[in-house]
Amino acid sequence: MIPKLHYISQGQTHKEHLENIQKACTSGAELVQLRLKNVSENKVLKLAQQAREITSHFQTRLIINDYYKVAKEIKADGVHLGKTDTCPLIARKELYTWQIIGGTANTLQDCQALINKEVDYIGLGPFKFTETKANLSPILGLEGYAAIIDALQTETPILGIGGVTLDDVTAILETGISGIAVSGEVTQDFDRIKKFNQLLNASSTKELKYTFNKK
């Protein structure tokens, strides 16, 4: 199964990204995503190697955003592909069979396309307005989540993304969403990871039982 809480790295500098990943691991994160934009692949590789050292020490899973070749080289646990990134079918041919692929979706049609491409999980959003997603896609909210989950009837895990806070978790789960991916809410206070895990019923002791499906 896919962990119910994903922490997406943030930072004004590359050093801050790594520091925040370490803080997330220290605070009990089961999975972190290294998300760097507009950076050369060589630089991403260097940072990903450092992130892998951190996550390996804490036995935390590491997902690389976008750069699937980097994910393969450092043997990360998988890759997350945005809507304008490489097609999951192409990445799948390149990655190890045990590496997972997640994809970003904004609509029911996006979800159906990703499921047809056999992704391992989908990040669906934005749940709320966020600066990083400003004006790019409509806000889904609880009603949007419920409608899409009801229409999909899929076993593929769907994670809520985009401005999710602690106060939102219970209501989001009631729509049928599997878990959440968070960035700012945790970066502001890494102690919130424990609170998220409690709300998601995804404590570290239970997460230890989870394993990625190997094909």
Work out the mean pLDDT of the chain and round it to a whole number.
92
pLDDT band at 201 (very low <50, low <70, confident <90, very high): confident
Quick check: 72 pLDDT over 90? yes
Instruction: Specify the pLDDT at position 205.
Output: 41
Quick check: 15 pLDDT over 80? yes
Tell me the average pLDDT across 13-32.
98
Bigger pLDDT: 201 or 74?
74
Bigger pLDDT: 136 or 59?
59
3-state SS, the chain, equals CCCCEEEECCCCCHHHHHHHHHHHHHCCCCEEEECCCCCCHHHHHHHHHHHHHHHHHHCCEEEEECCHHHHHHCCCCEEEECCCCCCHHHHHHHCCCCCEEEEEECCHHHHHHHHHCCCCEEEECCCCCCHHHCCCCCCCHHHHHHHHHHHHCCCCCEEEECCCCHHHHHHHHHCCCCEEEECHHHHCCCCHHHHHHHHHCCCHHHHCCCCCCCC
Quick check: 153 pLDDT over 90? yes
Instruction: Specify the pLDDT at position 214.
Output: 43
Instruction: Specify the pLDDT at position 93.
Output: 98
